[in-house]
Structure 1
């Protein structure tokens, strides 16, 4: 047993000496040249990068342009904004079967769990008493604009769904909600 310990100690010592040789740790060939891939530039946490002296301006669209990935909806999240949207904003989408079918599909994913499949406020979460007071579309004075505004900003207990749905999908859901509302009123 003593011999095994001595051999292990000698091998470990030899490996330590050989692995600490300075010539082994320097690169002989550097494929990327003198780029930041091998020699990264250190930044202080929360420091202002030199590339953006006035803040992170590269994250927003250039002034005077419109981003292709984001629709501009600058109606404020306030009671005045809600009333403005209710009275002034209409759906830009054509009312057709394709938009209604897609609206129904998206409504089933994002809305039916609270508002119910028929828009009667009897979704699974309401039936299980997780949320109470979800409105019935029949009893609400809603328009395309007010529905869109609530999807964008939320209202009362309902949170915003603007991050889950893009602009076109929001309007498709609006069309489907209007269809559910008219079905409830006619019954």
Structure 2
């Protein structure tokens, strides 16, 4: 009986060793984190950034890639008044290109303000929007700075065109609007 028990124990041990062996994959994994990465939920809290914040802000004063330059004047009534009084165009007379500013004005501004700046664009003629004044109205003392500020931030029902026009294109449109204003005042 003792020999039969020994054979049964040896047989059970051999079967357990053979059944646990998996020949279809490696027995040892080197750097197992490369094979079995830790799964993270999309918006879960993480200590990766420290202090429990979920993302980090860019360094103060950093400028994003591309041709974006921050506009230092605020989008407030005081900022508008400051721009109206103090902001001037960085373009000199040789850099102003009406052939470039004209088509940009026609695309973005002419639909409401009209091709001559008289406030009679297609949307006004069709009565889709109302109250677009002419650039030459007596009550409107528009300046270079006020035009740029309105293009950048928008005003009243006019939206911002900061995403559609880069800085140089905005100044070209400002120069074209000033030309239209001078033509209307003649």
Given that 1:95 and 1:175 are in contact with CA atoms closer than 8 Å, whether structure 2 keeps it comes out as: no
Given that 2:104 and 2:173 are in contact with CA atoms closer than 8 Å, whether structure 1 keeps it comes out as: yes
The C-alpha deviation readout for 1:113-172, integer Å capped at 9, x for no partner, is 000100000110000000000110011211110000001111111111111111111111
With normalisation by structure 1, the TM-score equals 0.70
The CA deviation at 1:84 is 0.5
Find the aligned partners of 2:38 and 2:108 in 1 and give their Cα distance.
44
With normalisation by structure 2, the TM-score equals 0.71
- Judging by fraction of residues, say which structure has more helix: 1
Matching of residue 101 in structure 1 with residue 103 in structure 2:
no
Given that 1:120 and 1:135 are in contact with CA atoms closer than 8 Å, whether structure 2 keeps it comes out as: yes
Q: CA RMSD in A?
A: 2.9
Matching of residue 147 in structure 1 with residue 147 in structure 2:
yes
The CA deviation at 1:44 is 3.8
Given that 2:100 and 2:172 are in contact with CA atoms closer than 8 Å, whether structure 1 keeps it comes out as: yes
Gaps in structure 1 of 5+ consecutive residues: 1-22, 27-32
Q: Kindly name which structure, 1 or 2, has the bigger radius of gyration based on alpha carbons.
A: 2
Q: Relative to structure 1, is the Cα distance of residues 51 and 88 closer, same or farther in structure 2, using a 3 angstrom cutoff? A: same
Gaps in structure 2 of 5+ consecutive residues: 1-22, 26-31
Q: Relative to structure 1, is the Cα distance of residues 148 and 98 closer, same or farther in structure 2, using a 3 angstrom cutoff? A: closer
Number of residue pairs matched by the alignment: 154
Find the aligned partners of 1:52 and 1:94 in 2 and give their Cα distance.
49
Match of 1:56 in 2: 55
